[in-house]
Chains A and B, each alone.
Chain A
Amino acid sequence: MANAALAESSLVESVISADRWDLRTRLQERDADLMVLQPGRPVELAGPVGFGLTRIGYRMLAELSRTVPVVVLDVRGWASPRAAWESGVQSPIFVRCSDPALWPRVAAALMDGVPAVYAEVPRGVRDQDLRRLAALVRARQTRVAFRPLAGDLPAGVGYLRLRAREVHWEGPDRGHGRLRERRLVLEASGKGVAGRNRTIEVDDAGTHDLRVVSDLAAGPAGRAFG
């Protein structure tokens, strides 16, 4: 009798465990969808430099670059093609423009004709220009990831905002080893997550594709932007 109860208990635990596993997998798949650029739905990658947002931007271009040309709009002239290749981007084209007065025209020309763009946004671009760009992106159904280098984009521009919160590196140890892998913690907000802020985690193994490894973290519902 006791053995039967124990067996039943194990079975229940295994069913719960399987359900958890299934739920976790589904959540990771759902979060991974946030890493895909959607036509006409700009993504804002917000946060300080060093938190892995450039590589996330590259990752968003990777799949698309197999079938259509993709462009990186580089404001600082620091974008690394090798990092793009490591992220799986094929034959990216780099456009350099650091002048905030010229940048909107360049970005508009790109978003008018190039199917997928990762665009750094320099300091000093007017909000109205960014809103006009967002309208153009929606009209042309372009896939765009904006990476503002100072502050956030104005409301109404991004469909989804991914804000970098934390970065944890593994590998180095006081002179030994080398950088191997990092875990990025991002907060997703905006229309893309139906106004319910969500925290997602991403593993970046450097020379491999990014992997979404989110657990059950979900933030409280907040105001949507856009």
Chain B
Amino acid sequence: MAADPLALSAGVVRGMPRREAEGLCPGAMVIVRDLEEEWRRFEPVARMIEEIVPRIEIVEPGSVLVPVDGAVRYYGDEETVVETLAGKLRAAGVEAHIGLADGPFAATWAARTAVDGPLVVADTRSFLAGLDVAVIDHDDLVATFRWLGVTTLGALAELPRDAIASRFGEAGLSAHRLSRGEDRTVAPRRIPVELAVESRWEEPLEQTDQVAFAARGLAVKLVDGLRREGIAPHRIVVEAETDDGEVRSRVWRSSDPFTEDALTDRVRWQLQAWVDERRRSSGGIVRLRLDPSDLSGEGRQLGFFTDESARVEAERALARVQSLVGENGVLEAAAQGGRLPSEMVSWFRWQEVAVQVRDTSAPWPGTTPGPTPSLVSPEPSPLEVEWDEGMPVRIRLGTRWEPVLTWAGPWRMTGSWWRGEQPVDRYQLVTSAGAFLCIVRSGITYLTGIYD
């Protein structure tokens, strides 16, 4: 969980569990993260940076790696580049933390520590030596280092590499290299030209569904091609041409090799941002090219129990379906906490990240007893039930009345009474035509589920 300055001042800390944060700051409003929206809002910032330094690499919304070698030759020195960039962002009202160092890892941490203005690191190794060992993104490794008394990257860098290799293997070696400022250098293998994929359209793409479809098709084609070569990309150049001849490109970087899903999301978001921007003027996209670089030898291994070809085929089919029914028509679900069946599921768009609003591990006293109805109404719909002294007698199903054979309940649910929610009573009603889950609120009965 992240927090705004007001919440931070109330004691909320980034990464804190939601319940704890709500306890500290009861009036806080919890907003579910919308990555797509973040990408859309970040796009103008990325374009601003590109006006100064081209070929930037986007890591995630709000995080950009900017190669400065060319810009330094143009502007004269590093300080001028950084100041120019900071000034431009400041003028646009963007709060930016800028750090400059050798390699992405050191630059990222320089930016994170640059609170009072841009930080240009002259001696990367000395800068890294002062950082806590926790900056290595590997919990087990960090815990072991601490147990051994190695608490800073400087201490880690002093250890002999062969000892690290024999004790901690590949993960330890990687951490050791980072601690010495030997960041992952881009040493691309020779990229066969035919691995880049491209599509052209006679009719410009202007609609969201068209863009999503195009992105998926091309991403799947690219990753399939790379997989056959036994390689996977860490970096992708997305290049699009608009109908009036303008060519735009953007570089995407990922610490793990891109999968079809990850790549599709990035291309889709990127294209959508461009299309949204273009829509304000006119026209759309007529050509799209995905160019892989920074390839690793981490060829994709087929799952032992899974049919990979079936999965790829199914994803293509679902992409087609998504273009027919829209993004909100293809969904996945994740379990979440709640008391009513409709509350206990978190829906999210296919291949997006699940967002759980309610904690599954929390106790949810008064949860509707199982089994779960196979059909759950998204919104409770009124149901005609005839009662006799608090006991259900018959219910109306379509045009006929069906006698209630037996029933279970009521189970009272008080809900958020402090917000003025009325208590509800839940019933399981059994008829010869099946069983139904109902709630009664303020004397009105609603159907919430059918045990089909």
Q: How far is the CA of A86 from the CA of B310 in the complex (A)?
A: 24
Cα A179 to Cα B341 with chains together (Å): 15
Residue in B320, B333, B376, B451 with the greatest tally of chain A CB atoms within 10 Å? B451
Q: Find out whether the CB atom of B317 lies under 8 angstroms from the CB atom of A174.
A: no
Tell me whether A85 and B335 are in contact (CB under 8 A): yes
**Once the chains are docked, how many angstroms separate the CA of A71 from the CA of B313?**
13
In chain B, residues 294-335, which have Cβ atoms closer than 8 Å to a Cβ of chain A?
305-307, 310-311, 313-318, 320-321, 324-325, 328-333, 335
Interface flags for B204-248 (1: CB within 8 Å of A; 0: not) read 000000000000000000000000000000000000000000000
- The answer to whether B321 and A173 touch across the interface, beta carbons within 8 angstroms, is no
Contact between A50 and B449 (Cβ–Cβ < 8 Å)?
no
Do A109 and B375 touch (CB < 8 A)?
no
The answer to whether A102 and B375 touch across the interface, beta carbons within 8 angstroms, is: no
State whether the Cβ of A212 lies closer than 8 Å to any Cβ in chain B.
no
Is B344 an interface position by the 8 A CB rule?
A: yes
Min CB gap A224→B, angstroms: 27
Contact check: which of B305, B325, B451 meets A66 at CB < 8 Å? B305
> Whose C-beta in chain A lies nearest to the C-beta of B368?
A178
Those of A170-197 within 8 Å (CB) of chain B:
171-179, 182
A109 to B407: give the CA distance in the assembly, Å.
43
Q: Is the CB of A113 within 8 A of B317?
A: yes
Query: Chain A residues with Cβ under 8 A from B315's Cβ?
Result: 69
A70 to B310, CA, bound (A): 10
A36 contacts chain B at the CB level, 8 A cutoff: no
Mask of B340-375 contacts with A, CB within 8 angstroms, 1/0: 010011000010000000000000000001111111
Chain A residues contacting B345 (CB-CB under 8 Å) are: 80-82
Known: A115-B314, A179-B451. A78 touches B377 (CB 8 A): yes
Q: Which of the candidate stretches B148-156, B285-293, B432-440 sits at the interface with the other chain?
A: B432-440
Which listed residue, A67, A71, A86, A182, touches B372 by the CB 8 Å rule? Answer: A86
Q: Choose among B318, B328, B329, B374 the residue with the greatest number of A CB atoms under 10 Å from its CB.
A: B374
Chain A, residues 19-56, CB within 8 Å of chain B (1/0): the string is 00000000000000000000000000000111111110
Minimum distance in angstroms from B133 CB to a CB of chain A: 37
B309 to chain A, nearest CB (A): 10
Give Cα distance in the complex from A171 to B371, angstroms: 11
Most A CB contacts (10 A, CB to CB) among B328, B391, B410, B450 go to B450
A93 B370 Cβ-Cβ under 8 A: no
Q: Is the CB of A113 within 8 A of B434?
A: no
Report B-chain residues with C-beta under 8 Å of the C-beta of A167: 432, 434-435
State the total of A-B contacts with C-beta under 8 angstroms.
Answer: 179
Query: Count of chain B residues with Cβ under 8 Å from any Cβ of A?
Result: 54
A68-B307, A113-B320, A178-B428 as given contacts; A80 in contact with B406, CB under 8 Å: no
Among A50, A55, A68, contact of B311 (Cβ-Cβ < 8 Å): A68
The answer to whether the Cβ of B81 comes within 8 Å of any Cβ in the partner chain is: no
Q: Which residues of B contact A112 (CB under 8 A)?
A: 317
Point out the residue from A92, A113, A179 that lies within 8 Å of B428, measured CB to CB.
A179
- Cα distance, A178 to B101, chains bound together (Å): 65
Q: Are A106 and B428 in contact (CB under 8 A)?
A: no
A83 touches B305 (CB 8 A): no
The answer to the question of A95 belonging to the interface, with a C-beta cut-off of 8 Å to chain B, is yes
Give Cα A91–Cα B378 distance, bound, in whole angstroms.
20
With A49-B434, A97-B325, A106-B324 already in contact, the answer to whether A172 and B452 are too (CB < 8 A) is no
Residues of B near A92 (CB, < 8 A) are 332-333
| Chain A contacts for B435, CB-based, 8 A | 50, 167, 169, 179, 182
> Please, which residues of chain B bring their CB within 8 A of the CB of A69?
310-311, 314-315, 318
Question: With contacts A80-B372, A96-B325 known, is A109 near B317, CB below 8 A?
Answer: yes
How far apart sit A49 and B329, CA to CA, in the bound complex (Å)?
A: 23
Let me know if A93 and B318 touch, CB within 8 A: yes
Query: Of all chain A residues, which has the CB nearest B306?
Result: A67
Chain A residues near B430 (CB-CB < 8 A) = 169, 172, 179
Chain B residues contacting A79 (CB-CB under 8 Å) are: 374-376
Tell me the minimal C-beta distance from A48 to chain B in angstroms: 6
Least CB distance from A179 to B in Å reads 5
Check if B374 sits within 8 Å of A81, measured CB to CB: no
Chain A residues, Cβ within 8 Å of B350: 93
Distance (whole angstroms) from the CB of B106 to the closest CB of chain A: 39
Is A95 within 8 A of B370, CB to CB? no
Chain A residues in 8 Å Cβ range of B408: 171-173, 175-179
The smallest C-beta distance from A113 to any residue of chain B, in angstroms, reads 3
Contacting residues of chain B (368-395) with chain A, CB-CB under 8 angstroms: 369-378, 391
Q: What would 21 A/B residue contacts be, using CB atoms closer than 8 Å?
A: A55-B374, A68-B314, A69-B314, A76-B375, A81-B345, A82-B376, A83-B376, A86-B370, A86-B371, A91-B332, A95-B325, A95-B331, A105-B324, A109-B324, A172-B428, A172-B430, A178-B369, A178-B408, A179-B371, A179-B435, A182-B451
The interface of chain A, by Cβ under 8 A from chain B, is: 48-55, 58, 66-69, 71, 76-83, 85-86, 91-97, 102, 105-106, 109-110, 112-115, 167, 169, 171-179, 182, 205-207
CB-CB nearest 3 A-B residue pairs = A50-B434, A113-B317, A206-B371
